Amino acid sequence: MGIFVLSMGLGSWKFGSTTEAVRALKKVLLLSAIFLSLAFFTIRLSIMNPQFHWLLLPQLILIGAVGFFSGAELPLLAKLSSPERKENNIAQVLIWDYLGMAFGSLFFGFYILQTWGVYITFALLLGSHALLLIWAFLHTPRQDAHI
C-alpha cells in the first residue's frame, strides 16, 4: 500500500503541469487495464505453482507504475474540467496528500508496529481516535433542533 500511495504522489507531481491531458489520460487507462490483467494472472500463477513466487517482484514494480499513473489521473481530470487553470493548486494538494499518506503508511508499518507491537499500537490508535472524537464533540457549536 505504501508503494502504491508513494507512486501516486510521484505521478501527481509529474503530471501536475502537463498540457497533453487527454493523451496522458488515455495512457493511464490503457496501462491500468494491462496491469490489472497481468496482476490477476501473476498472482493466480504464483498461488497454483509456488516455484513462480519470483514473479511477485516485478509485480511490485507494476504496482508502483500503476500508482504513478493513478496519481497522474486526478490532476489530469482536473485540467480537463477546470478552464480557470486551478489545476496546479489541486495537483499541489494531491502531491502533498499522497506523499504524506506514503510517509504515514511506511512509518506505521516499519517503525510503529515493529516498536510497540500490534496490541499496543491499535490500543493507542483507537484511544487517540476516541479522544479526538470527544474533543470534536465538546468543541462543536450546538444548534437547536427545530421541528
> SS3 for 45-108, per residue?
HHHHCHHHHHHHHHHHHHHHHHHHHHHHHHHHHHHHHCCCCCHHHHHHHHHHHHHHHHHHHHHH
pLDDT tens for each residue of 3-62: 666 666 666 666 655 555 556 666 666 666 666 666 666 666 667 777 766 666 676 676
| Residue 140, pLDDT score | 80
How confident is residue 125, by pLDDT bands cut at 50, 70 and 90?
confident
